[in-house]
């Protein structure tokens, strides 16, 4: 294991922090929200349907960048927006 950092340094990699790339906020779909409210109210008013509320997991939306072996001269950006793909620059 001690040889890995030496090899990566020889191959022009550097162990450095990734950077956050601010992303655009996703636009809300108001029609989809209205449709959901109507459908949900229909379910609430239906006596033949049982509705259970449970506590969901709480995913973390803020990005933790951490560190990585990155080719020297490049930066590794982690988009802060949801469902984005990391990018090299």
| Residue in the structure block whose two tokens are 């109507």 | 38
- Which is nearest to 79 in space by CA: 88, 70, 71? 88
Helix H or strand E encompassing 33: helix 30-45
Residues 39, 43: Cα–Cα separation, whole Å? 6
**pLDDT tens readout for residues 25-84:** 566 678 888 999 999 999 999 988 888 877 666 565 666 778 889 889 988 887 776 554
What long-range pairs does 47-52 form, CB within 8 A, spacing at least 24? none
CA angle, residues 16, 67, 12, in degrees to nearest 5? 40
Domain that holds residue 40: 3-88
**Whole-model pTM over 0.75:** no
**Total number of domains constituting the chain:** 1
């Amino acid at each position: 294991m001690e040889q890995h950092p030496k090899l990566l340094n020889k191959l022009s990699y550097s162990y450095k922090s990734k950077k956050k790339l601010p992303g655009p906020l996703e636009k809300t779909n108001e029609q989809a929200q209205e449709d959901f409210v109507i459908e949900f109210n229909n379910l609430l008013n239906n006596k033949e349907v049982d509705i259970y509320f449970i506590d969901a997991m709480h995913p973390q939306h803020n990005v933790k960048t951490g560190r990585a072996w990155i080719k020297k001269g490049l930066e590794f950006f982690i988009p802060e927006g949801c469902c984005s793909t990391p990018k090299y620059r």
